[in-house]
Structure 1
Amino acid sequence: MRSKIVLECATGISNSEVSRRLRVSLPTVGKWRSRFIDKRLDGLVDEPRPGRPATIGVDQVEQVIVDTLESTPANATHWSRASMAEKSGLSKSTVGRIWKAFGLKPHLEEGFKLSTDPLFTEKVYDIVGLYVNPLESAVVLSVDEKSQVQALQRSQPTLPMMPGTPERRAPDYVRHGTTSLFAALNVADGTVISSIHRRHRAVEFKKFLAKIDKTVPEHLDVHVICDNYATHKHPRFHMHFTPTYSSWINQVERLFAEVAWELLQRSDHRSVQALEKDLRNWVKALNEDPQQFIWTKTAEEILASIARYLKRINGAGH
């Protein structure tokens, strides 16, 4: 980071602009710029600190990092602080500090799946263009369905939150059936057109598109962002398909995350009808005070980020 600060300053831009670009504080930029001017490269080195010298060598730290990234324990899928401490001869707390310093969390994992769509780049440019360059005389709708929403009844009554005690819910529940929420998010203003169907076949999706057609004023074209299963043809509809395995680019997924967090995660419904009523009320309340999701990434930034990630994982031998 110190080197990046100096290199950015060398382009002639101001300290505040360097601070904005690198997302570091203005005093930090000023400090390392001044130290480099005064002492050149020596100014970027840490000054000697008081106290007992470090007893853990750089080679030991490096070995912990290498072992963490490139190996696994004999009888486990990932390292723990205890197993790494046993292998390295360091204490568990020292292993923990090394992992924290280098941003390593062996106990965590995240799922991912890279798109194999041959038209990935074209589709990204197409959809992001709709987000950042609004169309005239047209409405852009981000469309999808949240299928298999379960009506779950907790096996015991929920205990309310009290001072010093969080809300407590029974971990088991009774299933009372499922429903599906179809939603079309207007990317310009955050309003939602929705329908609820017990089934989620192509025929239900076609009915939902017919509802969109009736709801959107006739003088407007309709641009629909959706996945490839939507094959409905309509003179007003311009279909824009998301790349395979790329639901993250469809803004309506953000809406589904909101309804899951605000309504479904702690839901307690004794029937599908009760669940559907709450879903309708949730959408109604949202439309009374809609909030637009602001898309900030350009297509170029998205593609560059993916390229950097591919370079990283290829460099790691995957």
Structure 2
Amino acid sequence: MPVASARPVTLRSCERRRLQTMAYGRKTPYQDRVRAQIVLAAARGMSNARIAARMQITVDTVRTWRGRFADRGLEGLADRKRSGRPPRFTPLQVAEVTALACQLPAETGTPLSRWSCPELAREAVTRGIAEALSVSTVRRWLAHDALKPWQYRSWIFIRDPQFRPKAARVLDLYARVVDGLPLGDDEYVISSDEKTSIQARCRCHPTVAPGQARAMRVNHEYDRGGAVAYLAAWDVHRGKVFGRCEPATGIIPFMNLVTQVMTQEPYASAKRVFWVVDNGSSHRGKAAIKRLTTAFPNAVMVHTPVHASWLNQVEIFFSVVQRKVVSPNDFTDLTQIHERLRAFEERYNATAQPFRWRFTTTDLDDLLARLDRHTPDRHTPDRQEQSCTLQAA
């Protein structure tokens, strides 16, 4: 009885490169690696028996994948679709568990703050939704609908009755518009705030530099060396920062920062310099506006709405300082903090550019309208006095 000859295999250059990547790639699954090696060996003219002996697999395995590649090419090396095991749970059971995950545990009488997959599986069995339910099954159901009930994000109600006009004025200034007119070349916008309590934490053991397969190591124990406040003013359109360190925040430290900026050109001779600030105690209310105008007649203070510090662009710069200068905190004393921040300002200003601020008044109106649709019970006749929600910055 004649013996069937091995199927001939001829590779194109692109197929050979793809198979070599599969056969010798570090992250290639084992079964894909074996199939690719079978085809590469067959392309060199090796017999099925020799390939099987060399790779320590059966001749039937070699014959199967050699034949599939000869018939369908690279697509033949993929697993064929299988019908799989019949589902053990009905769509109704899946929907009930998903609906349970979309409820607060307190609403169901469960003494939990958040759901987890083990707790959901346990609660589903307790309620009789299923006789038995594994944690991995619940996790797979939630992943299908992108549900993560163990995570949460904080949010806050807007309390400022003048939120919309205040926010719109700040956004217009970022767009170089004030009272419906474009800003002149001799008008500037400064975003200012304070970063409080930057501590000098002297580690009990020196910080170890990163090495091969090792991250930087910072000792957990430290001695407190005091704290300073870092005040910064960011020129929104010129992309330049002015900063100073003070023992604490307050009216006098803030006015020191204002003096530092306003006594320099081009701000000293500018027509108007708009100072965008939040509602902190250092610059809150009409008294702060009068104090600023008295000291510098060409300065105009503009307040962000309450609970809307995310409208203040200097907060972006503070996030850069936190990532690149403050964390991890390892300063021997307050003098080192002063020197580090001053040196970072010079380094940052050397390449600084204005932030790409894309949130406009149109986006603000769209956001407020969307929040209105989700909070119908909090509407008031006056659009400017409505209560709505915003994600906390």
Give the TM-score normalised by structure 2.
0.64
- Give 2:216's aligned residue: 167
Q: Does 1:205 align with 2:265?
A: no
Match of 1:302 among 333, 351, 364: 364
Give the gaps of 5 or more residues in structure 1: 1-48
Q: Please, which runs of 5 or more residues in structure 2 have no aligned partner? A: 1-80, 125-131, 178-182, 378-388
Aligned partner of 2:141 in structure 1 is 98
> What aligned pairs does 1:39-118 form with structure 2 within 5 A after superposition?
51-52=83-84, 54-72=87-105, 74-88=110-124, 89-118=132-161
Q: Which amino acid aligns with 1:282?
A: F
Match among 282, 291, 297 for residue 344 of structure 2? 282
SS of the residue corresponding to residue 128 of structure 1 reads helix
- Give the whole-Å Cα distance in 1 for the aligned partners of 2:137 and 2:368: 34
CA separation of 1:307/1:173 partners in 2, compared to 1, >3 Å: closer, same or farther?
Answer: farther
In 2, the alpha carbon distance for the partners of 1:153 and 1:106 equals 40
CA contact (8 A) 2:118 2:135 kept: yes
Question: CA separation in 2, counterparts of 1:133 and 1:293?
Answer: 14
Based on CA coordinates, which of the two structures has the bigger radius of gyration? 2
Aligned residues: 268
**Partner secondary structure for residue 302 of structure 1:** helix
Give the alignment's TM-score, normalised by structure 1.
Answer: 0.78
| 1:144-175 CA-partner distances (Å, limit 9, x unpaired) | 01111111122222222222222222223221
Q: CA deviation at 1:56?
A: 3.5
Q: Which residue of 2 aligns with 1:194?
A: 243
CA spacing shift, 1:216–1:182, aligned 2, 3 Å? farther
Deviation at 1:50, TM superposition (A): 5.9
Indicate how the Cα distance of structure 1 residues 245 and 216 shifts in structure 2: closer, same or farther if over 3 A, else same: farther
Letter in 1 for 2:94: V
Cα 1:263–1:86 shift into 2, 3 Å: same
CA deviations over 1:223-260 (Å, ceiling 9, x no partner): 11001342132211111100001110100001001100
Greater shift in the superposed pair: 119-128 or 295-304? 295-304
Single out whichever of 296-305 and 192-201 deviates more from structure 2: 296-305
Q: In the aligned structure 1, how far is the partner of 2:169 from the partner of 2:142? A: 41
User: How far apart are 1:115 and its partner, in Å?
Assistant: 2.3
Per-residue deviation at 1:93? 1.6
Change (3 A) 1:147 1:71: closer
Q: Deviations over 1:99-140 (max 9, x none)?
A: 223332223222332321011000111011111236222110
Letter in 1 for 2:304: T
Please give the secondary structure, in 2, of the residue aligned with 1:113. Answer: strand
Which position in structure 1 is the counterpart of 2:269? Answer: 219
CA distance in 1, matches of 2:93, 2:157: 35
2:165 aligns with 122
Q: SS of the residue aligned with 1:105? A: coil
Q: Which amino acid aligns with 2:121?
A: A
Q: AA paired with 2:93?
A: Q
Q: Match of 1:262, SS?
A: helix
* Amino acid paired to 1:71: L
Counterpart CA distance in 2 for 1:90 and 1:189 is 60
Match of residue 317, structure 2, among 222, 244, 255: 255
Change over 3 Å in CA distance of 1:160–1:250 after alignment to 2: same
Q: Cα distance 1:96–1:269, how it changes in 2: closer, same or farther (>3 A)? A: same
What is the CA-CA distance between 1:262 and the residue it aligns to?
0.7
User: Counterpart of 2:102 in 1: which secondary structure?
Assistant: helix
Shift of 1:302: 2.5
What's the Cα RMSD here?
A: 2.2
Contact in 1 for aligned 2:199/2:329 (Cα 8 Å): no
In structure 2, relative to structure 1, the CA distance for the partners of 1:310 and 1:160 (3 Å cut) is farther
Per the alignment, do residues 176 and 90 of structure 1 end up closer, same or farther by CA in structure 2, a change over 3 Å counting? same
Q: For 1:97 and 1:157, how far apart are their aligned partners in 2?
A: 45
